[in-house]
Amino acid sequence: MIETLATPARTRLVERMAALGPAFAARATEYDRTASFPTENWAELREAGLLGVCIPTEHGGLGGDFIAYALVSEELGRHCATTGLTFNMHVATTLLVGQIADDLDLEPDGRRSLEERRAELYRGIVEDGTIHSQPFSEGIAGGALEGIGTRAVPVQGGYLVTGRKIFASLSGAANIHNVVALVEGDERIRFMGIPADADGVSIEGDWDPLGMRGTDSRNLVMNNVFVPADNEWAPPGIFDQAAHRWPYFYMTLSFSYLGLMRGILDHTAAYLRGDGGGSTQRRESPIRQAGWASMNLEYERARALCYQVLDESGVDPSFDAIRRAWASMVTTMEAAPSIASTAIRVCGGRSMLRPSYLEQAYRDARCGATMLPWSVEVCLDRLGRAGLFPNSSNPPS
C-alpha cells in the first residue's frame, strides 16, 4: 500500500518536511512548557515552501494533493505534533478551495468566482507568507453542518459577521481566520476569511491545556466584523457539498497523530537500544520486548487502515468507504494514547519526568479523541448505528 501511495512526487515532499524535523523536535519541549505558538517552526515551513504544499505549481506552490498532504503531515507529527495540528488548519483551507472544490459541481459563474478568489488566497500564501486558520467549532453540535451560530449579514461590498468560535487554533498567529457562517433565510453555508486585524475581532480566554499546548487555540470572537466579498473563498453551498461528497476532509487531524505514534516508536526504540550511551541490556528484557511488540502492532494496524482509506479517498465515496474512514479515525485516535502509555511502562519512571518526550507525547496523544467534527465519540456513534437502522447507510456529515 505504501508503495502505491508514496509516488516519487509525494516522497519528495515528505523528504522536504523530514529535513526540518530535527530542528522542530529540538524546540518542541519549549513550546510545550510555555504553551506558546511555534513561530520559529512556521518561519522555516515558509522558507521551505511548505505553506504552499497543496497549492498548484502554476500558482507557485508545491502541487501536493490530499494524499501528499497526509504523508507530509504524518512526517511532521513524528517530530512535533503540535506544529502538525496548526499546519493542518492552514493547509486544510487550500485543500478545500483547491482539489476538493475542483471535484464538486459548480455553475460556470461560481467556478469563475472560485478561481479568481482562490488565486488571491494562493498568492497571499506564496508571496506574503499569509497564515490561515480554520476555526469551525462553536460548541453547539458535533456535526460538520450543525450548530453554526455565526451569522453573516450582507452589506455593500461584503458582509458583517458576528459569532464566536472555540478552540480556534492559531488564534494569535493567523492572518486570516476562515470560518463558516449562515445568512439569515439561506440554508447554504458560507466559507469566508476573517482578517485578523479587522475591527470587531478579538481573541479571548487563556490557553493552558493538558496537551498540544503550542496550538494557541483560544476563542475567536467576531462582532460586526466587515468581511470583503472577495474573502468569501468559495460560492455558497460548496462547504455543504464538500461535507457530503468529500468527507475525507474531516479526517486530516488524524495524520498528525499517526506521526506522533511514529515518534513514540522512535524514542522507545532508541531507549531500548541504548542509543547515546545507554545500556543495551534494556532490550534483553522479555517484558519490555512484549511491550515493544504490542506498540508496533497497534501502530501497524492504525497505519494500514489509514493508508487503505487514503487509497480510496476522493469524491463520492461509498458508504462502506466512509465507514472505514470513521473506523480509521477511532483506531488512530485511540491507538496514540495507548502506545504512549505502553512506552512509558517500557521505558520506566524516568520517562515521566519533565522535560521528557514521552511524557509530553502521552499528554498530546490524549487530546485527539475529542476533536470535532469527527471525534471518537461521534465516529463510534455512527459506526454503532451503521447498518442497523433504516437510512443508516445514508451517512451524516
> Which pLDDT tens digit goes with each residue over 239-281?
999 999 999 999 999 999 999 999 999 999 999 999 988 888 8
pTM of the model: 0.95
Q: Is the pLDDT reported for residue 140 higher than 70? A: no
Span(s) in the chain for CATH 1.10.540.10: 2-131
Specify the CATH number of the domain 2-131.
1.10.540.10
Q: Is the pLDDT reported for residue 392 higher than 70? A: no
The pLDDT value recorded for residue 346 is: 96
The pLDDT value recorded for residue 144 is: 54
Residue 163 — φ and ψ, nearest 5°?
A: 170, -175
40-90 tens-digit pLDDT: 999 999 999 999 999 999 999 999 999 999 999 999 999 999 999 999 999
3-class secondary structure, 177:
strand
Structure confidence at residue 219 as a pLDDT band (50, 70, 90): very high
Which one is the CATH code of 151-236: 3.30.800.10, 3.60.15.10, 2.70.98.60, 2.40.110.10?
2.40.110.10
* Cα–Cα distance measured from residue 104 to residue 119, given in angstroms and rounded to the nearest whole number: 18
**349 burial via Cβ count (<10 Å: 0-12, 13-18, 19+):** exposed
* Cα–Cα distance measured from residue 60 to residue 51, given in angstroms and rounded to the nearest whole number: 11
**CATH class of the domain defined by 246-385:** mainly alpha
Cell 469563475 appears where? Answer: 112
Span(s) in the chain for CATH 2.40.110.10: 151-236
Structure confidence at residue 365 as a pLDDT band (50, 70, 90): very high
Give helix 81-95 / helix 253-273 axis angle, nearest 10°.
150
19-28 tens-digit pLDDT: 999 999 999 9
Span(s) in the chain for CATH 1.20.140.10: 246-385
